[in-house]
Structure 1
């Protein structure tokens, strides 16, 4: 039977969620479904049907993301992409990706972003690996180096009701300067900090630590051994307006009793390693987080700012979104870019995946050239272009959406 594609309606969430549960080998509860409803935008969810049977789909959340030098900008936060077992390898996901990107072309968002369940899936649709996170592990009590100031303000453990208004205010103050951070509605806060028994995964309920200039949210996994307690403290989020508050919150977490190790999925450039007296105590491993897709080359490249002036003709290949393919003059003056379609000879040849990977300023174009995503035609231009794209800090997204 022929496959058809439709957008969903408000009453289609339960059926759509059943397909996602089947795809991700998950069993949603009624509580989870209602929580998800607050983030559900039915008109931005595409579903593929085989006759009357819903067999796959994908959605978009309307969010803002902080981009280098320009603060929050619109992003299509792609989510809930899945295909029901037994219906795979039939082009279902390709149809969803096609519908999403066609709908975004020349619309509100010039870029799309997602977390990939499998890293091999999304490059074929033009997504590039734009950000990573670190799995950080630090032993309890690890000393800070001499001279680190934690200020004189006390960190307090408080209830969720007291913590959340403060956390939301701090997050909103900090977010515009943190590349990769997303806007959050109240529904997004409720979703990401849900705290039912099922959400805990065998760990404790969330605990909330407040500093006048920041907050930390964490869980604990108890582990009582013959030589004493060796629990794990799992940080969910640590946000601070000031460097002293950041250090004070880390110091507090590292000194919690009955704990053997602090664990945190954190930014790849988390400065805690430089706070420690012995930097080797901070064990880190990296993994992919955000994948970015440039929807419209001219709009996307013009909405962020750049580190240095450059003038180059880019020849972009993009089989999935042919409106991006061709030659573009990319000119940066005093951080601001103009992008115009031209017929001039190219200085650099690259694929759209490379532009997505470099977009948030964490992936160097010179590295992508070594991976054969980028080719320099005019000597010297690639180094200048690569430097211009760099951000002030490594991009990081503190939530999976």
Structure 2
């Protein structure tokens, strides 16, 4: 993108020399505190400068926009190029002037030029991004387990799993190899590049809030790594009674026994009364392993917001649970090249999506298409809210079935 000037403001690609000023403007936008040096360094390492914009008013940065060149797992296991939108802000002095729209426009145009069928983001304020075509495509489960008053149902093979502890940095390569094997199995996961290792290991002492340094729990079977968990502990005493908390950052497993063995370990640590798992899939196995969920605190939040940048390419990139042949009438006010009727035909083996002049079966906005894309939000549920219209009887049930995913989409970490 060349420099674009409007009035007194100019939007241009971020230069390396301006990164510190750019990032400080973000810190002001998100509360004003200085982040630890380790965190700033990790973010700088993953910043893709050619995909990052700074909004300047003369010699002052008053806005920012960035994106990552991600590969996102979609139903069927394919990894699809996606623009991971991040670092977005507009200074309070420049609100209500169309600056956010301007940066979102530049970002989506760049994603289209790069041939990325999808754009994704996590939202600090979810109400903002719907007007740019983003729908909530995945949710996250925040669970706090009361280990003193609940038990676990353990699947066969749990006792065959060998557990050990290690420094997270020392076993990073093994854990990332396992993570890479798990990505195709669950929609919404991101292929991690080497530059992201610093972000995954980030554990700045100043940001621990009194917790211990993180440790890594390894689960092995016959010498093969089948799971890992990165966790910390916070010691607390109520009078003379221990009341500590286990804080679980990551918990990934290749099979049920490995998952159960690690969960049992985490719930049996001495002096700990609760286990906090703030980022789990909404279909997480703990929902079936914990003996009494009423003794646990469970909350669900929006997580990954998604919008198709290229409707045809996006719908053709994923597989479908059942055979489908449906004509979609798509509205997209922000990316008008997506508007019109599209025939989607496909099934478990793949799909084709092309322009058509045939009469539509369903009508929906691109926001709802994004919400349903990973299979975590039902088209039928959206229709019940009046957001999808069935134009041919039977089309809604068939399409909703095809778009569904037997495994809930999940984004393992924010960006």
Q: How far did residue 346 of structure 1 move?
A: 1.1
Equivalents in 1 of 2:219, 2:401: separation in Å?
Answer: 37
Q: Which moved more, 1:120-129 or 1:235-244?
A: 235-244
Q: How far did residue 393 of structure 1 move?
A: 0.7
Unaligned runs of 5+ residues in structure 2 are 1-6, 221-225
Which residue of the partner structure matches residue 358 of structure 1? 372
Indicate how the Cα distance of structure 1 residues 19 and 120 shifts in structure 2: closer, same or farther if over 3 A, else same. same
Which residue of the partner structure matches residue 189 of structure 1? 197
Equivalents in 2 of 1:383, 1:139: separation in Å?
Answer: 40
Which residue of the partner structure matches residue 298 of structure 1? 312
Q: How far did residue 106 of structure 1 move?
A: 4.9
Equivalents in 1 of 2:383, 2:155: separation in Å?
Answer: 41
The Cα offsets for residues 338-383 of structure 1, whole Å up to 9 and x where unpaired, read as 1111122211100000010011110000111122221111111011
Indicate how the Cα distance of structure 1 residues 29 and 262 shifts in structure 2: closer, same or farther if over 3 A, else same. closer
Q: How far did residue 279 of structure 1 move?
A: 3.9
Report if the CA contact (8 A) 1:140-1:256 is conserved. Answer: no
User: Which residue among 24, 27, 50 is the counterpart of 2:30?
Assistant: 24
Which residue of the partner structure matches residue 228 of structure 2? 215
Q: Which moved more, 1:129-138 or 1:161-170?
A: 161-170
Equivalents in 2 of 1:172, 1:46: separation in Å?
Answer: 30
TM-score, normalised with respect to structure 2 = 0.93
Map residues 48-67 of structure 1 onto 2, 5 A cutoff: 48-67=55-74
Is 1:12 equivalent to 2:56 in the alignment? no
The Cα offsets for residues 311-349 of structure 1, whole Å up to 9 and x where unpaired, read as 111110000000000111111245421111112221110
Which residue of the partner structure matches residue 278 of structure 1? 292
Report if the CA contact (8 A) 1:57-1:92 is conserved. Answer: no
Which residue of the partner structure matches residue 44 of structure 2? 37
User: Which residue among 38, 47, 50 is the counterpart of 2:54?
Assistant: 47
TM-score, normalised with respect to structure 1 = 0.96
Unaligned runs of 5+ residues in structure 1 are none
Map residues 71-110 of structure 1 onto 2, 5 A cutoff: 71-110=78-117
Indicate how the Cα distance of structure 1 residues 3 and 389 shifts in structure 2: closer, same or farther if over 3 A, else same. same
Indicate how the Cα distance of structure 1 residues 104 and 231 shifts in structure 2: closer, same or farther if over 3 A, else same. same
Is 1:325 equivalent to 2:343 in the alignment? no
Equivalents in 2 of 1:135, 1:146: separation in Å?
Answer: 21
Indicate how the Cα distance of structure 1 residues 296 and 151 shifts in structure 2: closer, same or farther if over 3 A, else same. same
Q: How far did residue 108 of structure 1 move?
A: 3.1
Q: How far did residue 148 of structure 1 move?
A: 4.8
Report if the CA contact (8 A) 1:4-1:48 is conserved. Answer: yes
Equivalents in 1 of 2:139, 2:88: separation in Å?
Answer: 21
Equivalents in 2 of 1:29, 1:274: separation in Å?
Answer: 39
Map residues 364-383 of structure 1 onto 2, 5 A cutoff: 364-383=378-397
Report if the CA contact (8 A) 2:382-2:388 is conserved. Answer: yes
Q: How far did residue 146 of structure 1 move?
A: 6.5
Which residue of the partner structure matches residue 353 of structure 2? 339
Is 1:255 equivalent to 2:268 in the alignment? yes
Equivalents in 2 of 1:125, 1:344: separation in Å?
Answer: 27
Q: How far did residue 27 of structure 1 move?
A: 1.7
| Structure 1 counterpart SS, 2:359 | coil
Which residue of the partner structure matches residue 214 of structure 2? 206
Q: Which moved more, 1:266-275 or 1:297-306?
A: 266-275
Number of aligned residues? 401
| Structure 2 counterpart SS, 1:397 | coil
Report if the CA contact (8 A) 2:76-2:348 is conserved. Answer: no
Q: How far did residue 4 of structure 1 move?
A: 2.1
The Cα offsets for residues 281-318 of structure 1, whole Å up to 9 and x where unpaired, read as 34311001000011000000000100111111111000
The Cα offsets for residues 132-155 of structure 1, whole Å up to 9 and x where unpaired, read as 101101122532236554132321
Is 1:116 equivalent to 2:130 in the alignment? no
Superposed CA RMSD:
1.6
